[in-house]
Amino acid sequence: RPGSEARASIPCLPRVPVLGSLPWLGGGLPPHLLFCQLAQRLGPLFALYLGPHYTVVVNGHQNAREVLLHRGRDFAGRPRMVTTDLLTRGGKDIAFADYSPRWKLHRRLVHSSFALFGEGTGRLQDIGALSPSLHFSSSVDGLCVQLLSGGTRGFDPAPAVIRAVTNVVCTLVFSSTYRHGDAELQEVVRYNDGIVQTIASGALVDIYPWIRVLPNKVLSKLKDCITVRDRLLTRKLEEHKASLSDGEPRDLLDALLKGQSGSRRGQRSRGSEGESITDDHVLMTAAEAFGAGVETTSTTLLWILAYLLHHPEVQDRLQRELDEKVGAERAVSVSDRSQLTYLDCVINEGMRIRPVSPVLIPHTAMTDSSIGGHSICRGTRVLVNMWSIHHDPQHWDKPDLFNPDRFLDDRGQKVTPTCFLPFGAGPRVCVGESLARLELFLFLSSLLQRMSFRLPDGAPLPNLQGQLGVVLQPLPFKVVVTPRPGWENGAK
Ligand code: HEM
Ligand code: PLO
């Protein structure tokens, strides 16, 4: 069998029944670091058993590009897992759904709906709106005002950042913007946090599905959060259905509902009813836009703030660039983006040094295929260790150093190294990439234009190790915020 040859050729950890290779994974290191350690011993491509599942771990960028890009179709499957099945009603979302014609249709629909909020439309910019009436409710202004009201005592910026990013996603998904302290916004923040906490600690459940039958506090908390989420989103969906008109979609829910009827028409003409996008799909997509949109963007922003506290010279240089290219008279706008090169490098360096997803969501081989000349049989799980790729000393000079200049060449022009893949690549590449980049740009540029961040007197520098849950998060840290000239109130 080709499968048995493949298993012989890729170095593989030993295993015991039921536990798989678990006894050889001791030491308590998080997976991305453990895999780096194992790669030193076994080589960049190795295998292990997660419970009963034969799993190949990819550490080098060439092999990763092969899996994600060159043979992307072969490896575009996803394994089924207990927690994500609960989260997504058995894979009716994008991220955790297995590859299928319906998934392709669904992903395309989501992609084109996101394009509605992209750069060209100015829609996202409305979130940092210039109109005075929107000042307080707009997320960017709101965040600036809130941070600046933190006073001179040190405070944790995370709650304000998470709330602001959640607000942006609420605007995009169902056109709601919330004022500070709004009960519905709090509810969204709370249930999302509950899912984040439980889905990662529920990882064990995914390796041993039979634990599902045991009483499990984690699983019941996850279920409770999902119930709250579903109640809120179902209400939004019903409201949107009732007020849907023929005009331009107001938000993601409108775009999905319109696409849904479009795809049904398309299906009928092709006679394949089974593939249409159901209400469940619409609901799961909205839920996922929240999960993916909030966790990733807020975590990246917090990592960058943590690094700016470690590197005040980078903050100074960012502010010099902003003063030179934008000034203090007006708010930053999307059209400034091409001018703010150094800011772009800082965002890239933040995503390189602390990828939110240090090991990508597992892929599975949909057909017999190969990686680096080793054959891989259908059904094999593949873990791409983005951490090892972003910290490979052969491709990055002093990889543990925060150095945004590595994204500039000798002439000060931007460069994107081939081993920089913060959003993945190929058929499973992040669908929110352009949205995420735009948000990171708008938030960071506005924050640094209007205020400076420093450590509270006597406080320790932020811990940069982070804490691995569903994403890699910085541990809580404190900042002191001071307004820059002209921005004493946080907004104009
Ligand atoms: C997938 C990164 C923001 C939606 C992914 C993947 C990565 C990633 C690494 C997995 C690729 C793979 O499995 O091969 C990021 C980063 C972000 C970000 C670094 C921000 C800094 C967003 C936003 C959204 C989003 C704002 C949507 C609102 C998704 C979805 C998938 C995904 C739906 C699953 C794609 C699929 O499986 O086909 N993202 N993401 N992401 N991302 Fe993002
Ligand atoms: C975050 C908690 C939400 O309540 C549900 C959710 C949905 C999509 C997930 C996201 C969580 C975590 C980050 C993920 C995202 C899909 C793509 C993204 C895994 C679990 C990344 C970085 O790959």
| Burial classification of residue 124, based on how many CB atoms lie within 10 Å of its CB (0-12 exposed, 13-18 middle, 19 or more buried) | buried
Q: How many CB atoms lie within 10 A of CB 244?
A: 15
Residue type, 301: L
| Burial classification of residue 384, based on how many CB atoms lie within 10 Å of its CB (0-12 exposed, 13-18 middle, 19 or more buried) | buried
CA neighbor of 2 nearest in space, from 382, 381, 374: 374
pLDDT score recorded for residue 440: 94
Let me know how long the chain is. Answer: 492
pLDDT score recorded for residue 271: 40
Tokens 């439309």: give the residue: 121
Q: How many CB atoms lie within 10 A of CB 90?
A: 14
- pLDDT tens per residue across all 492 residues of the chain: 444 444 458 999 999 988 888 888 877 788 899 999 999 999 999 999 988 899 999 999 999 999 999 999 999 999 988 888 889 999 999 999 999 998 998 898 888 887 766 554 555 555 443 332 233 337 888 888 889 888 778 999 999 999 888 888 888 888 877 777 788 888 888 898 888 877 766 566 666 666 655 557 778 888 999 999 999 999 989 999 998 888 878 888 888 888 887 655 544 434 454 577 889 999 999 999 888 989 999 999 999 999 999 999 999 999 999 999 999 998 898 889 999 999 999 999 999 999 999 999 999 999 999 999 999 999 999 999 999 999 999 999 999 999 999 999 999 999 999 999 999 999 999 999 988 998 899 999 999 999 999 999 999 999 999 888 888 999 999 999 999 998 887 777
pLDDT score recorded for residue 9: 80
DSSP per residue, 17-40: TTTBTGGGS-S---HHHHHHHHHH
CA neighbor of 93 nearest in space, from 83, 451, 381: 83
Ligand 1 neighbours, Cβ below 6 Å, are 68, 94-95, 107, 288-289, 292-293, 296-297, 300, 351, 356-357, 360-361, 422-424, 428, 430-432, 435-436
Ligand closest to the CA atom of residue 297: 1
Ligand 2 neighbours, Cβ below 6 Å, are 95, 192, 195-196, 199, 288, 291-292, 295-296, 356-357, 361, 470-471
How far, in Å, CA of 165 to CA of 161, rounded? 6
How far, in Å, CA of 432 to CA of 475, rounded? 25
Tokens 């150093």: give the residue: 401
Burial 53-64 (b: 16+ CB within 10 A, else e): bbbbbbbbbbbb
Nearest CA to ligand 1 atom 38: 428
Please report how many Cα atoms fall inside a 13 Å half-sphere around the Cα of residue 304, on the Cβ side. Answer: 28
How far, in Å, CA of 285 to CA of 298, rounded? 19
How far, in Å, CA of 454 to CA of 303, rounded? 14
Nearest CA to ligand 2 atom 6: 291
pLDDT score recorded for residue 203: 61
pLDDT score recorded for residue 219: 81
pLDDT score recorded for residue 212: 59
What pTM does this model have? 0.92
Please report how many Cα atoms fall inside a 13 Å half-sphere around the Cα of residue 155, on the Cβ side. Answer: 15
